[in-house]
Structure 1
Amino acid sequence: MAFSNPYQTYQKQVVTTSKPEELTLMLYQGLDKFIRLSKTALQQNNLEESHSYNIRAQDIVSELMVTLKKEYTISDSLYSLYEYMKSRLIEANIHKKPDILEEVEGYALELAEAWSTAINQKKNKY
């Protein structure tokens, strides 16, 4: 008989009950988290762990790309930004460059902050 991890159960519950805009914010936050972890692992010369976290960050950017709604004009600009971020993550992974990770982390933080502000403005409006 297997016991479930309470934290994983909680995380799954949060994801399945969140609104789409909250899920996008979670993706941005997760992106920032995995970039930071990749950068830390790289600085500690743990290349395998850094690679693993970098791939997780790339996966999040891919998810952000496929969930864009094409009917919004900003989608094209966001897609281009995500494409750039992903290519930089790949480059950081290949060349083991923490400065590139810092660059992408800056974009992730700005996006998370802007998205969080938008969510709060929407909540305050209603």
Structure 2
Amino acid sequence: MATTNPYQSYQQNSVNTASPGDLTLMLYNGCLKFLHLAKKAIDEKDISARNTNIQKTQNIIKELMVTLNMDIAISQNLMSLYDYMNRQLIKANIDNDKNIIAEVESLITEFRDTWKEAIQLNRKQQYGGGGQI
């Protein structure tokens, strides 16, 4: 009989019960995690780990692109920025360039922080206070 890892169960439940806003926040945090690991892999000259982590980041960015509601004007701008980041990550992977990864990391951090603030404001409006993340 297989034993389950309690942490994995917790993570799975977190994803399954998260709101769409929280899921987007998780995606941004995943991007930042994999970008950090990609930079570390460059430092350690681990080409395979660099490639894997950049590709994981690209997959998340593609997911963010797919979830955009193109009926909303800002989505056009977000699509362009996501596309730019994806192309930059291709270049970073080919050129083994930490500076490009840092640029994308900076953009993702800004998106994540803005998104987190929007979630908090929405919760305050919905529930009259609370809603800290």
Query: Structure 1 length as normaliser, TM-score?
Result: 0.96
Identity of paired residues, percent? Answer: 41
- Note the residue ranges of structure 2 that are not aligned, 5 or more in a row: 127-133
User: Where in structure 2 are the equivalents of 1:32-43 lying within 5 Å?
Assistant: 32-43=32-43
Q: Which residue of 2 aligns with 1:60?
A: 60
Matched, 1:92 2:92: yes
Between Structure 1 and Structure 2, how many residues are aligned?
126
- Note the residue ranges of structure 1 that are not aligned, 5 or more in a row: none
Q: Distance in 2 between matches of 1:5 and 1:63?
A: 27
**Following TM superposition, by how much is the alpha carbon of 1:11 offset from its aligned partner in structure 2, in angstroms?**
1.1
SS class of match (1:68): coil
* Greater RCO (CA < 8 Å, at least 6 residues apart): 1
Superposed CA offset, 1:38-94 (max 9, x none)? 011111111111111111001000000001111211111101100000010111011
Over aligned residue pairs, what C-alpha RMSD do you find?
A: 0.8
Q: Which residue of 2 aligns with 1:51?
A: 51
Superposed CA offset, 1:6-54 (max 9, x none)? 2221111111100001100110111011001101111111111111111
Please tell me the residue identity of whatever aligns with 1:88: Q
